[in-house]
Amino acid sequence: MPLQVNLRLLERIPQKLVGELPVVEFAADFHDEVVRFTKPLQYDLEVIRQGLDILVQGTLSIVLECSCARCLSSFETQLEIEDFSAFVPLEGEDAVPKDGDFADLTPLVREDTFLALPTKPLCRPECRGLPVKAPSRDSRLGATPSEVTSTSPWAALEKLKL
CA dihedral 133, 139, 143, 146 (to 10 degrees): 50
Look at residue 105 and tell me if it is in a domain.
yes
pLDDT at residue number 128: 86
pLDDT at residue number 41: 93
Look at residue 125 and tell me if it is in a domain.
no
| Total number of domains in the chain | 2
Q: Provide the pLDDT confidence category of residue 55 given band limits of 50, 70 and 90.
A: very high
Within this chain, do residues 46 and 95 fall inside the same structural domain, yes or no?
yes
Q: Rounded mean pLDDT of 109-135?
A: 85
Cα–Cα distance measured from residue 100 to residue 117, given in angstroms and rounded to the nearest whole number: 32
**56 pLDDT more than 60:** yes
Within this chain, do residues 100 and 149 fall inside the same structural domain, yes or no?
no
Q: Provide the pLDDT confidence category of residue 148 given band limits of 50, 70 and 90.
A: very low
Q: Which value, in Å, is the radius of gyration of the alpha carbons in the chain?
A: 25
Q: Is the pTM of this model over 0.85?
A: no
Within this chain, do residues 82 and 144 fall inside the same structural domain, yes or no?
no
CA atoms within 13 Å, Cβ hemisphere of 71: 12
Domain that holds residue 148: 132-162
